Amino acid sequence: MYKDFLNKHNLILTVPTGSVAYGTETEGTVDKDYLSISISSPEYYLGLKTFESDVYHDEEIDHTVYDIKKFLRLLSKNNPNILGMLWTEPMKHIVPDLVHERERFLSKALYLPFRGFATSELANIQKTTGNTGEKRRKRVEEIGYDPKKAYQVMRLLAMGAEILRGEGVHVNRSDIDAGYLKAVKRGDYYLDQIHDAAKIAFDRLDYANTASPLPDEVEDNFVNQLCVTIIGKRLCAF
Tell me the domain boundaries of the chain.
2-101+219-235, 108-210
Can you name the CATH fold of 2-101+219-235?
Beta Polymerase; domain 2 (3.30.460)
List of E strands, the chain: 11-16, 33-38, 53-57, 62-67
Relative to beta strand 53-57, strand 33-38 is unpaired
Res 132: pLDDT: 82
Res 130: pLDDT: 83
Q: What is the mean pLDDT of each run of 10 residues along the chain (238 residues)?
A: 92 93 82 92 90 93 96 95 92 86 96 97 93 88 96 98 98 96 96 98 98 96 95 81
Res 111: pLDDT: 98
DSSP code string of 98-152: HHHTGGGG--GGGHHHHHHHHHHHHHTTT---TTS-HHHHHHHHHHSS-HHHHHH
Res 229: pLDDT: 93
62: left (phi over 0), alpha (psi -120 to 50) or beta: beta
Res 131: pLDDT: 80
